Amino acid sequence: MNEDEAKAIWSRAAELQAEAMVRSEAAASDDGSDDEEGPGVGISTDVVRAAALEAGIAPEFIDMALAESVGGITPSKKLTGWKDRYATRALGTDERRLDESRLIEAPPAEVLSVMQRILPNHPYRLTLRDTIGDDPLDGGLLVFEVPKMTSTNYTSFTYKMAWADLKELRFRLQPRADATQTHVSITVPLGHSRRVNWIASNVLTGVSAGGGGLVGLAVGKATAVAGAVIAAPIAAGAVAVGALGAWGMRAAYRAGLRKGREELVGILKSIAVTCRLGTGFFPAPPPPPAEAGDGFDATGLITG
């Protein structure tokens, strides 16, 4: 892996360990007791693991972070090097993933059973595509693919996830309190989302700037401004309209991340409520969606 990827592993492993420590302290209190390589040469996973161990990060969190980095549906879609830095500027955020979690008053097996009832059905229609780690009832990741929003598969969930092009959800179940409770976390990696939206931002800004230049040129001609001075309205139009396009893209992307986070919170609430009240209140599954190829992909038609 390159240097940027190694730094991401170290950072994520440290976060995982810190989160585990916070949960452990809280429990004790309750008990009363790609495209471009970054700078530098490639770094082996052994070197990454050894450096993290020297920094005091526990092996299990290093392994979890490494597994997260290579598994999933879109592991190779991340931007690296200068492209990643430019994407941060264009999108107005450095967020690399969405994280939400909730402590549910039910053992892991019961939570998993409820997830099997809820996630494949309306409005989510998630498909299990991959697993990362060992036991899904004790920290292993379950990787679900988000369905495309099409004319035949339009729900509030697919609509909101399509805003920022969020493609996968990773669930982790961790037992608590002698396995009578379950800490459920959902992570959405943003590597693919950042890449797609950065490219869209470049296209949008270029088209907007080009349109602004044409407007400026028309103004210059209409006022009979001669010679090199005609460049002024062209430049002014290009800068103004291009900046407006870039601002709009940043605002739309951040709004998409907010909508995606809202859906993660909603999924966790649905799981918690169903665990508490039982599946009797859950609606019967609707008919399966149309076969692939029916309808048209509406993902790119979102206008805010």
DSSP character string of 14-56: HHHHHHHHHHHHHHHHHHT------SS----HHHHHHHHHHTT
End-of-domain residue from the set 70, 89, 108 = 70
**209 and 173 in one domain?**
yes
**118 and 52 in one domain?**
no
Torsion of CA 127, 128, 130, 134, to 10 degrees: 160
Residue 118 lies in a domain: yes
| Number of domains within the chain | 2
Residue 81 lies in a domain: no
**252 and 206 in one domain?**
yes
pLDDT of residue 285: 56
DSSP-assigned beta bridge partners for residue 150: 153, 297
pLDDT of residue 57: 76
**117 and 53 in one domain?**
no
**302 and 182 in one domain?**
yes
**106 and 25 in one domain?**
no
**301 and 193 in one domain?**
yes
**298 and 236 in one domain?**
yes
pLDDT of residue 181: 94
Task: Assess contact for 166 and 193: CB atoms under 8 A.
Answer: yes
pLDDT of residue 140: 85
Give me the tens of pLDDT residue by residue for the chain, a chain 304 residues long: 677 777 777 676 766 666 666 556 555 555 444 444 444 456 666 777 777 777 777 766 666 666 666 666 765 567 778 888 888 888 989 888 899 999 999 999 999 999 999 999 999 999 999 888 778 898 888 999 999 888 888 899 999 999 999 999 999 999 988 889 999 999 898 888 888 888 888 876 654 444 444 444 444 444 444 444 444 444 444 444 444 466 778 889 999 999 999 999 999 999 999 998 876 565 555 555 555 454 445 444 443 4
pTM: 0.65
> What is residue 271's three-state secondary structure?
helix
Report the run of H or E that residue 204 belongs to, with start and end.
Answer: helix 191-222
> What is residue 138's three-state secondary structure?
coil
**65 and 103 in one domain?**
no
pLDDT of residue 146: 94
**105 and 60 in one domain?**
no
**103 and 32 in one domain?**
no
Residue 240, CA distances (Å) to 198, 217, 254 in order? 20, 14, 21
Please name which of 43, 47, 45 lies closest in space to residue 2, comparing C-alpha atoms. 43
Task: State the residue range of the domain holding 213.
Answer: 97-304
**140 and 53 in one domain?**
no
The angle formed by the CA atoms of residues 204, 208 and 210, to the nearest 5 degrees, is 120
Q: Distance (Å, rounded) from C-alpha 264 to C-alpha 267?
A: 5
Residue 90 lies in a domain: no
